[in-house]
Structure 1
Amino acid sequence: MPKGRPGGNPDLVKYQFSTDREEPCTAKMTLRLPPSQYARLREIDNWQERVREAIAHLLEQGQLDSSSLTLTEDAGRPEPASASRDGEQTPTSRT
């Protein structure tokens, strides 16, 4: 069975993905949401771009930074931080 055109597609550049962004979106992020929130999010036109804009806005406003998340060593996943009695940031327990 043939596996495509010998020598490849000469017009490959014509069909490749391209972007006009200053920085291409190549990093991936996984986020867990309740199914009801995910369904509502999917109803929004161009929802992926709207989420990118919301994250960028939070970063610009200083509402997201490295001090608001900590990494667990066992899973390598970020967990929300909560303040302990002495004011240090400690990870909250998962339920």
Structure 2
Amino acid sequence: MTTQGETNLAPTVTPEGTELTDRATRHFRVEGFDAGGWMPLSSLSTTQAEAELRLNRLRARFPSIPMRIVAEATVHTVIRNSSGQTPPTEGDQVT
């Protein structure tokens, strides 16, 4: 809070190497083994339960293909801040 009781919405400078865990995402996909490798058999699901349903349906259609559910995780990491980067002060315009 500022001295006038307003919330300070200025961004903070995040140290390099910091993982931005609040922006992490996780999706699930069914993969099947064919021609010596694992390949996607389904589109991405937002929940594991949804991927389980897809796995069951695909197993019923293709019982001889080995299948698995994999989770795809995306984590954003700060690599480098611009030199001299500081949070803007109140009244600064973003350019």
What TM-score, normalized by structure 2, do the two folds share? 0.22
Higher percent of residues as helix: 1
Instruction: Specify the structure having the higher radius of gyration (Cα).
Output: 2
What TM-score, normalized by structure 1, do the two folds share? 0.22
